[in-house]
Chain A
């Protein structure tokens, strides 16, 4: 079946512009996660959705970052007034449910964001 998809695959934007990154999880997966990975670094957790609600937003680095999920499916991560330090690969993952064996996460291919 189809995996997690993300768009765009690459995004180059000017400092100060807003960007929207999209994630389409695996069908039937109720949990959705956003991560950020800078070059050569580990995964940085941003936000977790269970259904349409976000019980854990603790990783969002500033109020310039926001995310929403509608219909329990597609999620959008929005970065306002982008800064050069926002340059990274943004990864989305989904899992079947938020409990037990259902925590297995499947990752999308990522969006590489470059802020010039």
Chain B
């Protein structure tokens, strides 16, 4: 079992829909959770961090964390074609190094 697992996708949604990206992790002592966006041919870009159970909203993005279920998700409301990218989930258990999932590729169709 991988330490951080994401649906490999690809995930395709129509423009204006809600895109839901999911991530599960195996280390129960994980403390910090991150979502990165990576456009094709570019480096990852941090878009959300979440540290406490519940929801955290930033514009069209909402991160959700459930430590009991070892689950973190990213919702993108009103999806735009410019949101088409690979989304990476990263988890940190306080040891300095974050563990990244393999990413979910999202395509938003006009």
Identify the A interface with B (CB < 8 A).
31, 33, 41-43, 45, 48, 50, 55-56, 91, 93, 98-101, 103-110
Contact = CB atoms under 8 A, between A and B. Distances in A.
Nearest to B44: A107
B31 A100 contact: yes
A91 B43 contact: yes
Contact of B51 (A33, A93, A100): A100
B67 to A, nearest CB: 15
A101 to B, nearest CB: 7
Contacts of B36: 107
Interface string B16-39: 000000000000000110101000
Q: Range of interface residues on chain B?
A: 20 to 34
Contact of B98 (A41, A105, A108, A110): A105
B88 interface: yes
B96 A55 contact: yes
Contact of B43 (A55, A101, A110): A110
B94 A104 contact: no
Interface of chain A: mostly helix, strand, loop or mixed: mixed
Nearest to A92: B43
Interface in B59-110: 88, 90, 92, 94-103
A11 to B, nearest CB: 16
A73 B103 CA distance: 29
A42 B34 contact: no
Contacts of B96: 31, 48, 50, 55-56, 98, 103
B49 to A, nearest CB: 6
Contacts of A104: 34, 46, 49
Nearest to B105: A40
Contacts of A48: 96-97
A103 B100 contact: no
